[in-house]
Amino acid sequence: MILSSSYLLGQNSFVAKVDSLKMEIGDQQNLTLTYITSLGGSSPDFHLEHLDTCSFFERVSQTEWIKTQSSTSTTIEKKIKFSIFDEGVYKIPTMYAVQGGDSIGTYEIPIEITGVEPDSTGLLPIKGIIKEKNNWQDYFWWYVGIALASLGFLWYRYIQKRRNRKLEEIVVPVEIIKSAHQIALEKLGALKESRLWEKGEIKEYHSQLTYIIREYLENRYHIPALESTSLEIIRDLKKNITESEMIKSVDDILNIADWVKFAKGIPEENANALALDRAIEIVLFTKEDTETNLQTNLNN
């Protein structure tokens, strides 16, 4: 863990520390502020205004000031989870604590932000057929058989009871299960018709677009895409997709969205519509072939 030196005043100290002095663009880490004072002192006032003016510093979450006491001192601590979305070397500025008439400040903390190296491996050769893990589709005809047997039994009971008295007809709704790509394509089509980017709602548009892509990847490849960072999603996709162009397209869409949402970036005029077209291309290219799965079950 990397510590930032602090100014000291009597029995009091104010320390700022970060997890690392070097991080990749878009990663997250903690800035921890710790104030230590002797028992019986008045509560300090904390001034983090300089941190709020840093355009590069994006807060992800933060805790309240948490106070703990020992037999000789009082410790007040706050954690701020943050991210930076531009390459370069930045300095977390000095922050101050004022107690009584005295002011204590931390030193500046330099942080180096590096870019993510692009995948230059190119397209890999087509691999042979790999047997997937069993899923509900492998047992499709078992489900059909159970459903037919259940319906037959219900019909028999209905006829038997009808001979004795009249019964109201019971309608059993059949739930239509849509595939992951059907759900994604329907949502992408609705997003395209909304034309949010033409109405100036760029951030909302990219938020909806990345949610649809994350949801599709989670349903299609059974990875926690809705809860993962962009880097974690790309890592998991490389275990399931061999086509690097598709992985790059997903990475580009997620990076543009992060840039728009967290760095307040504004894409070029045609970049918004192009991102949606690439999302549709990703779904169509990686969609699961349900007809092939059904034919495999029939042959078995």
Indicate whether 193 and 98 sit together in one domain: no
Q: For the chain, how many structural domains are there in total?
A: 2
Q: What's residue 5's pLDDT?
A: 42
Domain match, 187 and 105 both: no
281: in domain: yes
The domain boundary, picked from 67, 94, 114, lies at: 114
**221 belongs to a structural domain:** yes
- What integer pLDDT is reported at residue 165 of this predicted model? 76
- Residue-wise pLDDT for 231-286, tens only, equals 998 998 888 888 888 888 888 888 888 888 887 888 887 888 888 898 899 999 88
Tokens of 145: 């058989």
Q: What pLDDT score was predicted for residue 270?
A: 84
Distances in whole angstroms, Cα of residue 34 to Cα of each of 80, 83, 87, 209: 12, 20, 28, 40
| pLDDT for the residue numbered 225 | 86
**Which pLDDT score, from 0 to 100, does residue 174 have?**
63
The parts of the chain modelled with pLDDT lower than 50 are: 1-7, 167, 291-292, 294-298, 300
Per-residue pLDDT, 163: 81
CATH number at residue 79: 2.60.40.10
Instruction: Kindly state whether residue 61 falls inside one of the protein's structural domains.
Output: yes
pLDDT of residue 78: 94
Q: Is residue 174 part of a domain?
A: no
pLDDT recorded at residue 94: 92
Segments forming the whole domain that contains residue 34: 2-114
Residue 50: predicted pLDDT: 87
pLDDT digits (tens, 9 = 90+) for 222-243: 999 899 898 998 998 888 888 8
Measured from the Cβ of residue 214, the count of other Cβ atoms closer than 10 Å reads: 22
Structural domain ending residue among the three candidates 114, 139, 160: 114
B/e letters for 103-122, b = 16+ CB within 10 Å, e = fewer, are: ebbbbebebebeeeeeeeee
Q: Report the alpha-carbon angle 84-90-91, nearest 5.
A: 115
For position 7, what pLDDT does the model report? 47
**Do 184 and 101 share a structural domain?**
no
Residue at which a domain ends, from 62, 90, 114: 114
